[in-house]
Chain A
Amino acid sequence: MKKLYFLLILLLLPFLLQAQNVKNMELDDLNGNTFALKDHLDADATIVSFWATWCLPCQKEHPALQKLKESFKDKNIQIIAISTDSPRSLAKVKKYVRSHKKYKFVFLLDPDREFAQQLLVTEIPHTFVLDKNGNVIYTHTGYRLGDEKELSKVLKEYFEKQN
């Protein structure tokens, strides 16, 4: 019975805890240079999306994110796409990026999924929206057509609060 109580506590925890900040994120880009988020928080908002080359929903999410970025013409939305491709597909990440030059994203690598694990990302695509200070204001797992509308709604609400 104790174990059931424990499980119940675990299930209730998410509704009680507070938000996290990821501004200390540091990952390598496709050329092996370190990208530190705290040095790139000059955007109005940041979208962080975990993806992989073998993940079809992730590839469907990318054009939706690009459209979303373009729809906020007066705002600078930074999109960071973090590949969780293992070494098996790592060589194909840069090929994918170069084949999709239309995506104005920052592409980073997390091949041992250490950063994904720290953010408790176990399934992809997994998307976070960060405010100007790197605080997570929205998180979403998976991609279905229309999910970008929720992102858009969150961003609009955030920008309205800022004004």
Chain B
Amino acid sequence: MKTWYLGLFLLFLTALASAQVAFKNQMVYTNWEEYNRTILEDWADLTYRHNWFKAGLRYEINHPPDPFIFPQDSLLKNYELTFRYVQVRYKKMNLTVGNYYEMFGRGLTLRTYEDRNLRVDTNLDGLKFNYSGRKLKLKAIGGRMRDKYNRRKNWLWGGDVEIKALKNMRIGASYLTQDQSSQKSLWAARLSYTRDMWDFYAETVRPSWYSAFSYYAALNLYFEKVSATLELKDYNHMSFFNAYGTEYNAAPSLTREHEFSMLNRHPHALNQNDERGYQMEISYTPTDPIQIVLNHSQTFTHAGKSFFKEYYAELGHTVNDRLEYHLAAAWTFDFTTNTDNITPLVDGSYNLTDRDQIHLSLQHQHTKNRSDLSEFDSELGLLEISHSPFVSFALVGEYTNKYQLRNVEMKRHAWLYGMVSFTFWHNQRLSVLYGSRREGFICVGGICRYEPEFQGVEFKLTTQF
């Protein structure tokens, strides 16, 4: 720990001498009334740059670890330096030693990333070389991936090359191997072609442990007022993971990332070993202030079993300088909960002045369970008043009549919390939440996490420079 203090102090002194320093601290303090539990979480990030040299670190506090996220809480250190790196740059080359994130292609072979809201961090610890030329891009990596307890096992080695073969065409290839015998290696090849009215991307993957190709393809079409995207997938035994079960790859899930809470209640959990399907989305802009979005996606197993299906329509309309609204509706089938869900919603904002705004969102969801044919409804209301740049107030309430079903025990069927956020002195932010929050899934990038019910108070302070 002394070395760490000394390192920070030296970095601090150097920073004062020459500039280009960024610092951010996110602190979350939660008092969970129900369990009489308090949790302090903190992420302190510091980066330093000087011409060709760059260094950074992250210090995390989980005191104590949130038991809903880290069930084996003894595995996670309460105070830990979880991320540190140095990077040197020479012309078009970069060499990184320490922790880093990387993605090859569209993530079918490798995608490491951090999503702090989901407490996901899959950075690699090792070294990375990167060359970025006009016609050639090269990446070479070696490292061990982090799991959620910050444990690392198995060295992963790999490389990625991309060549601009023609004016509008790029081709690329990736190869990855790890020191684990059950899942040794995989390779991938990709092609992208861009024209003014359309573009195309395709990538195929072949693992060493299963004799099948997986692929992902996307076609975009652009017209004057209409643009469309069609995506296809076939993922067959391509999940590539280390001894702790942390996946190196995260392919596109081909389900829509929604802007509205209720639509994310029944998300699709990506299974990279047995999935095929498609997604299509059309955007139509008949006039400047109106936009219509239509989306449809389906996912099956290779045996033909339906896993996820969604139809989605959205109308966005900016009526005038003051009023703007979105109307949306979705029908979703999700096999994980074996439910059909119909979700209409309206979300609008009204500008009181050029700095004051009211935001109102009303969302309804009707759920039918295909197993026992039971049905229930959920309602969500959000009212937010903001005054730029200093303050916003939000009130979020939710109600369900699920508790009225037979064989369902729910202590609570209404939730309500209020939140106030302040922004002050060069983008420092403080928010305070008090009340109760409903359980549910949060899903980003194909990864989902269960959010337990919460009742209590939560403070969040973000300071940065």
Chain A contacts to B: CB under 8 angstroms: 3, 6-7, 10-11, 13-21, 24, 26, 31-34, 52-56, 60, 86-92, 94-96, 98-99, 102, 111-114, 117-120, 122, 139-142, 144-147, 149-150
Indicate if the CB atoms of A95 and B228 lie closer than 8 Å.
yes
Indicate if the CB atoms of B89 and A24 lie closer than 8 Å.
yes
Please report the C-alpha to C-alpha distance between residue A112 and residue B111 in the assembled complex, in whole angstroms: 7
Shortest beta-carbon distance, B180 to chain A, in Å? 23
B116 — nearest CB in chain A belongs to which residue? A122
Q: Which of B170, B194, B291, B349 is the one whose CB lies under 8 Å from A99?
A: B291
Indicate if the CB atoms of B464 and A14 lie closer than 8 Å.
yes
Q: Is B231 an interface residue when CB atoms closer than 8 A count as contact?
A: yes
Q: List 23 A-B contacts (CB under 8 A).
A: A7-B42, A14-B23, A14-B426, A14-B463, A18-B21, A21-B20, A24-B49, A32-B194, A54-B256, A56-B326, A86-B250, A86-B445, A91-B229, A91-B252, A112-B111, A112-B112, A113-B101, A114-B101, A114-B102, A120-B24, A144-B386, A145-B357, A146-B389
Indicate if the CB atoms of A98 and B227 lie closer than 8 Å.
yes
Indicate if the CB atoms of A7 and B61 lie closer than 8 Å.
yes
Q: Which of B20, B194, B387 is the one whose CB lies under 8 Å from A19?
A: B20
Q: Is B44 an interface residue when CB atoms closer than 8 A count as contact?
A: yes
Q: Is B283 an interface residue when CB atoms closer than 8 A count as contact?
A: yes
Among B164, B256, B257, B428, which residue has the most Cβ atoms of chain A within 10 A? B257
Among A6, A89, A98, A145, which residue has the most Cβ atoms of chain B within 10 A? A145
Please report the C-alpha to C-alpha distance between residue A56 and residue B45 in the assembled complex, in whole angstroms: 27
A57 — nearest CB in chain B belongs to which residue? B259
Q: A21-B49, A54-B258, A112-B102 are in contact. Are A32 and B170 (CB under 8 A)?
A: yes
Q: Is B392 an interface residue when CB atoms closer than 8 A count as contact?
A: yes
Indicate if the CB atoms of B56 and A118 lie closer than 8 Å.
yes
Indicate if the CB atoms of A20 and B111 lie closer than 8 Å.
no
Within 8 A of A (CB), among B278-298: 281, 283, 285, 288, 291
Q: Which of B5, B20, B134 is the one whose CB lies under 8 Å from A18?
A: B20
Indicate if the CB atoms of B427 and A11 lie closer than 8 Å.
no
Tell me which residues across on chain A come within 8 A of B351, comparing CB atoms. Answer: 145
B282 — nearest CB in chain A belongs to which residue? A95
Q: Is B103 an interface residue when CB atoms closer than 8 A count as contact?
A: yes
B17 — nearest CB in chain A belongs to which residue? A18
Tell me which residues across on chain A come within 8 A of B194, comparing CB atoms. Answer: 31-32
Please report the C-alpha to C-alpha distance between residue A11 and residue B25 in the assembled complex, in whole angstroms: 7
Tell me which residues across on chain B come within 8 A of A20, comparing CB atoms. Answer: 19-22, 47, 49
Indicate if the CB atoms of A88 and B255 lie closer than 8 Å.
yes
Indicate if the CB atoms of B12 and A13 lie closer than 8 Å.
yes
4 closest A-B pairs by beta carbon, nearest first, are A146-B388, A146-B355, A14-B465, A112-B103
Tell me which residues across on chain B come within 8 A of A32, comparing CB atoms. Answer: 162, 164, 170, 192, 194
Indicate if the CB atoms of A91 and B20 lie closer than 8 Å.
no
Tell me which residues across on chain B come within 8 A of A21, comparing CB atoms. Answer: 19-20, 49
Q: Is B319 an interface residue when CB atoms closer than 8 A count as contact?
A: no
Tell me which residues across on chain A come within 8 A of B56, comparing CB atoms. Answer: 118
Q: Which of B257, B389, B463 is the one whose CB lies under 8 Å from A88?
A: B257
Scoring B residues 78 to 118 as 1 if CB is less than 8 Å from chain A, else 0, what string do you get? 01000000000100000000001111001100011110100
Please report the C-alpha to C-alpha distance between residue A56 and residue B310 in the assembled complex, in whole angstroms: 20
Q: Is B356 an interface residue when CB atoms closer than 8 A count as contact?
A: yes
Please report the C-alpha to C-alpha distance between residue A112 and residue B427 in the assembled complex, in whole angstroms: 25
Q: Which of A17, A34, A54, A145 is the one whose CB lies under 8 Å from B23?
A: A17
Tell me which residues across on chain A come within 8 A of B112, comparing CB atoms. Answer: 112
B42 — nearest CB in chain A belongs to which residue? A7
Q: Is B446 an interface residue when CB atoms closer than 8 A count as contact?
A: yes
Scoring B residues 15 to 56 as 1 if CB is less than 8 Å from chain A, else 0, what string do you get? 110011111111100000000000000111111010000101
Q: A15-B465, A145-B357 are in contact. Are A95 and B25 (CB under 8 A)?
A: no
Tell me which residues across on chain A come within 8 A of B326, comparing CB atoms. Answer: 56
A27 — nearest CB in chain B belongs to which residue? B132
A24 — nearest CB in chain B belongs to which residue? B89
Indicate if the CB atoms of B220 and A144 lie closer than 8 Å.
no
B231 — nearest CB in chain A belongs to which residue? A91
Indicate if the CB atoms of A120 and B103 lie closer than 8 Å.
no
Please report the C-alpha to C-alpha distance between residue A90 and residue B201 in the assembled complex, in whole angstroms: 11
Scoring B residues 271 to 282 as 1 if CB is less than 8 Å from chain A, else 0, what string do you get? 000000000010
Please report the C-alpha to C-alpha distance between residue A148 and residue B138 in the assembled complex, in whole angstroms: 39
Shortest beta-carbon distance, B43 to chain A, in Å? 8
Q: Is B253 an interface residue when CB atoms closer than 8 A count as contact?
A: yes
B350 — nearest CB in chain A belongs to which residue? A145
Shortest beta-carbon distance, A139 to chain B, in Å? 5
Tell me which residues across on chain B come within 8 A of A10, comparing CB atoms. Answer: 23, 25, 42, 44, 59
Indicate if the CB atoms of B220 and A91 lie closer than 8 Å.
yes
Q: A34-B132, A141-B427, A145-B349 are in contact. Are A99 and B220 (CB under 8 A)?
A: no
B123 — nearest CB in chain A belongs to which residue? A117
